Every structure is written in structure tokens, then in C-alpha cells.
Amino acid sequence: MADVKNILVFPAGTEIAFEIHDALKNSKFVKLFGATSVPCHAEFVFQNCVSGLPFVDDPALIPALNRVIDACHIDYVYPAHDSALLLFSEERDALHAEVIASAKETVEICRSKNKTYRFLSGAPYLPSFYLSAEEIPGYPVFIKPAVGQGSQGARIIKDRAHLEEALSEGREYTICEYLPGEELTVDCFTDRHGSLLVVSPRSRERIRAGIAVRSRNLPLTEELQSIAEDINRRLSFNGAWFFQVKKNASGQYRLLEIAPRIAGTMGLTRNLGINMPLLTLYNFWGIDVSLIPNREELLLDRAFISRFRTSLSYSSVYVDFDDTLIVRGKVNAFLMMFLYQAFNQGKRLCLLTRHSTDIYADLEKNCIPASLFSEIIRLDETGAKTDYMSPDSIFIDDSFSERKRVRDALGIPVFDLDMVESLIDWRS
């Protein structure tokens, strides 16, 4: 397959979208675009990002999205939220690009937990669930919005009065038995022929906004394999999907929900060698796939990351060597990442140092190519770095006194090592 396909991710500011981005950004077959309704973190992630589209519940969204599709020559739309997934699966014929989604009936069933439980009625892995307070044999029970995500509104109900208060809110809830045990997510992949190729369980050790932010891969048990196979037989999946289970008081897994889409924490499975967003695209491209997953234990843990946008403009980067490019005898890998980014952007890189021994030999010893730099200047102890610097530049040095001399003399931006993160452009 030689042609590059233009892929539009909407909404591009979700954790789902960021996983799709991370999974596809290095594919030679893909050019990524993001689209959002509001300015958000997507603009720091997607090189090509359009904001200001209507919200997913606005009838104006589809025409607006089609204008973006036409202008950017989009081939495929990748939904990155449950509501967008449902809308796009319903509006396939109206969109000017193909939607990366399973069958509409599957998406509709999975979007509502009540529909899911009714559709799978009789399956041994379903929790006990109730349609009204009269059916409940005892408390506590657990309720969650029938249509929702991120654990919003989910809670334990300890008595009937508490339940009736919740139901009076006018929102449709799923009412089921309280499950006190371990909770897992199981990442799955169904190929274009309907065969279930991947069943990959992972833990949910720390949760933020319903997303597992600490997760490790777990051994696949016969019980989980059986649940996955039964779900796959009953529903029509095309590509990546996942389900969540939780143990009951007897230690048996019971189904919480199914989602026919990419999960925000599928990066764990991806880093074991199973790239769910890319494999799903292969399904739509009519390509049969095979897998070579790694088997080691892998732990994912994530927290907030800062990305920056700066008004800074410069053509040259001057950087020190000792305690800057080399710190505690090791290459400063983060600074090297920035230097290669600047090199790719056509910036002029200059090494400006008072290094006491052969700088070329020490660059080679640390596997840093001297050819990366347009100029390597070695000063003696009395030389002034400002004598060699141009005004349209930035200066990176661990020494406060050096940075102050450069700022006072030239007025250019100066950076300590902890500031380099503000220079990184993460968009791709």
C-alpha cells in the first residue's frame, strides 16, 4: 500500500484521540488531522488541527465536518468519543469520508448499558440487573448512567430511599448488583473476517475520570477468553474494542460494559506490540494482519504532561557542553531531543564551550555527531561567549552567570536545563 491516507480524528482533545495520535503518528501510510469544538490540548498534539466545530449534539456538526473533510481531502474519520462514535455510525452516508467504526447496530447496543444487558440476556457473565426498585432483593446495589462514560454519576446505593432519590433525577440508570472485587479492562481486536485475534487483559490500579492511569498487562484466563469469544459471537465488531469486568463476591467476573472503540489506555497493549488503531485501519483497507506481541510484564503509569506554545522566534541555538549537553557524565537525552527537533526545523546549531579536553573526541565518546553542529567553538577561560553569538538566537547553559552575561549583553532569550521543555514542539 503506497498511498498516504488522510485521517481526521474527532474530537481531537480526548485521551482516546491522543492514543490514536500516538499510535498512528509514525505510520508512513497516515497523515493525521485533528478537529475539535473548542480550543483544547489537541492543538499541542496534532500538527494539523482545526477548532471551532459545532458540538456533537448540534445538527450543524455534520455539514461543518464535511467542509473540513473536503478542504483537507480526508479519507477516513476516526471517532474519539462514544457520542461521536454513535453519531458517525448513524450518519455514515452523510459524511464525505469513511467512518472507522463497527456496525451501527453494535455501536447502538454498546452505547447503552441497559441495551447491552438486555441484548446479552442469559449470558452467564452478566451481573444481576434490575429494571425497578421492586425487583431488588437486597442492598447495596450499584447504579450508573445507562448512557455515559468516565464513571460520571456511578455510585453505590445503600437503601431504597437512596435509590428513589437518584432515580428522581430523571436520568436513565442501569441498576445492578454491587460487585466488590477486582476490576479489569480487556482489550480486544476482531479482524475483518470476524475472527477474534486479540484478548489482552489489563489492570485498573488507579483511575482518573474513569480512565485507568496506572495499568499493567495480566495473564489471560479461560474465563476472560470465554467472555470475549461470546461477546464477539453475538456482536459485529470491526477492529479494536474492549470490555470491562469486575469480580463479584464469589470471585467471578461480571460484565460492566463494552465499547467498540479505542480506549485511552490501549497504549499499554500497543507497547506490547499490538497497535489497535493501526490494526483497525488495516481492517478498513482490506489488509489481513498477523501479530507478534511481546510477553514481558509492562506497567503503564501516567499523569499530567505540560506542553507549551511560545511566541519565540530564532534562527540559531547556542548550547554549552559541560553540565549541559553532558550531565553527570551522561548525555542529556531530553536536550538532544530538542536539538534534533531544531535541526529538523532548519535551525543553526552551535556548540559553545570552555571544555578543557579534546571536544571532538569527547563528542565521539558520547556518540554525539560533531556534524550536528554548524560550528563548534572552544573558548579559553577568559573568552566571552557573547563575542561569537548572533542576535537572532537562543542560548542554553546550566550556568546562571553565563546566562546573565549573555542576556545583559545581547538581550536574547536564555534557558537553563529545566526550561528546555518549553521549547519542545510535540505536534506531529
Mean pLDDT of 364-377: 97
Mean pLDDT of 16-21: 98
SS3 6: strand
pLDDT greater than 70 at residue 2: no
Q: 169: pLDDT confidence band, cut at 50, 70 and 90?
A: confident
**How far apart are the C-alpha atoms of 315 and 311, rounded to whole Å?**
14
User: Mean pLDDT for the chain?
Assistant: 95
Cell 442492598 found at: 139
**For 375-404, b where at least 16 C-beta lie within 10 A, e where not — what string?**
ebbbeeeeeebbeebeeebbbbbbbeebbe
pLDDT in tens, 291-333: 999 999 999 999 999 999 999 999 999 999 999 999 999 999 9
Chain-centroid distance, C-alpha 277: 11
SS3 130: strand
Fold agreement (5-101, 316-423): yes
Mean pLDDT of 349-377: 96
SS3 385: helix
Q: Which of 201, 193, 187, 195 is nearest to 260 (CA)?
A: 187
Query: pLDDT at position 348, please?
Result: 97
Mean pLDDT of 257-280: 97
Mean pLDDT of 175-185: 94
pLDDT greater than 80 at residue 153: no
Q: Dihedral (C-alpha) 123, 128, 131, 136: value to the nearest 10 degrees? A: 160
Ramachandran bin of 172, using left for φ above 0, alpha for ψ from -120 to 50, beta for the remaining angles: beta
Listed by start position, the domains of the chain span: 5-101, 128-177, 180-301, 316-423
Query: pLDDT at position 1, please?
Result: 54
Q: Which of 425, 410, 176 is nearest to 310 (CA)?
A: 425
Determine the CATH number of domain 316-423.
3.40.50.1000
DSSP H helices, 273-314, are: 276-284
The bridge status of strand 316-319 relative to strand 393-396 is: parallel
Please report, for the chain, how many H helices and E strands are present, in that order: 12, 23
Contact indicator for 97, 76 with CB cutoff of 8 Å: yes
pLDDT greater than 70 at residue 183: yes
pLDDT in tens, 246-261: 999 999 999 999 999 9
pLDDT greater than 80 at residue 37: yes
Q: Which of 9, 257, 271, 5 is nearest to 109 (CA)?
A: 257
C-alpha cell at 413: 532569550
Mean pLDDT of 147-167: 79
Mean pLDDT of 264-287: 97
**How far apart are the C-alpha atoms of 365 and 358, rounded to whole Å?**
11
pLDDT in tens, 59-68: 999 999 999 9
Q: Which helix (H) or strand (E) holds 333?
A: helix 333-344
* Options 3.30.9.90, 3.20.20.370, 3.40.50.10900, 3.40.50.20; CATH of 5-101: 3.40.50.20
Question: In CATH, what class is 180-301?
Answer: alpha beta
Question: In CATH, what class is 128-177?
Answer: alpha beta
DSSP H helices, 73-179, are: 82-90, 104-111, 113-119, 160-167
Query: pLDDT at position 168, please?
Result: 80
SS3 90: helix
The model's pTM is 0.92
pLDDT greater than 90 at residue 216: yes
**How far apart are the C-alpha atoms of 326 and 372, rounded to whole Å?**
15
What count of other Cβ atoms lies within 10 Å of the Cβ of residue 421?
A: 15
Q: 98: pLDDT confidence band, cut at 50, 70 and 90?
A: very high
